Amino acid sequence: MAGSAYGQLPDDFKRNLKPLDTGTEAFIKKFLNDAVGDSTEDVLLNLRKKPLMIDSLPKLKLKKRNRSLGLSAQQKKKLGLYVIPKHTQKYEKFVPLNNLWMDYMKKLLSLNRFSNVNINSVENKILKADYHGAFFKVTKSKCSTYVGSSGIVAKETKNMFYLVTKDDKLIGIPKYNSLFEFQVEGYVFEIFGSNFRFRPGERSARKFKPKLFMTF
Q: Say what the pLDDT of residue 16 is.
A: 58
Name the burial class of residue 13, with classes exposed (0-12), middle (13-18) and buried (19+) by CB atoms within 10 angstroms of its CB: exposed
First to last CA, the chain: 86
Helix (H) or strand (E) holding 53: none
Q: How confident is the model at residue 212 (pLDDT cuts 50, 70, 90)?
A: very low
Comparing CA positions, the residue from 191, 201, 149, 139 lying closest to residue 172 is 149
Four-point Cα dihedral 80, 83, 89, 92, nearest 10: 100
61 vs 38: CA distance, rounded Å: 13
Q: Could you tell me which residues are beta bridge partners of residue 161?
A: 156, 173
pLDDT one-digit tens code per residue, 156-177: 999 999 999 999 999 999 999 9
Strands in 101-211 per DSSP E? 135-141, 150-156, 160-164, 170-174, 178-184, 187-192
Q: Say what the pLDDT of residue 138 is.
A: 97
More confident residue, 204 or 148: 148
State the span(s) of the chain assigned CATH 2.30.30.210.
83-215
Q: Say what the pLDDT of residue 90 is.
A: 95
57 vs 36: CA distance, rounded Å: 8
Helix (H) or strand (E) holding 131: none
Q: How confident is the model at residue 23 (pLDDT cuts 50, 70, 90)?
A: low
- Averaged confidence pLDDT in the chain: 77
pLDDT one-digit tens code per residue, 77-88: 788 877 888 899
Sheet of 135-141: strand order equals: 170-174, 160-164, 150-156, 135-141, 178-184, 187-192, 212-215
More confident residue, 208 or 193: 193
pLDDT one-digit tens code per residue, 110-136: 876 655 666 667 887 888 899 999 999
- For 83-215, CATH gives 2.30.30.210
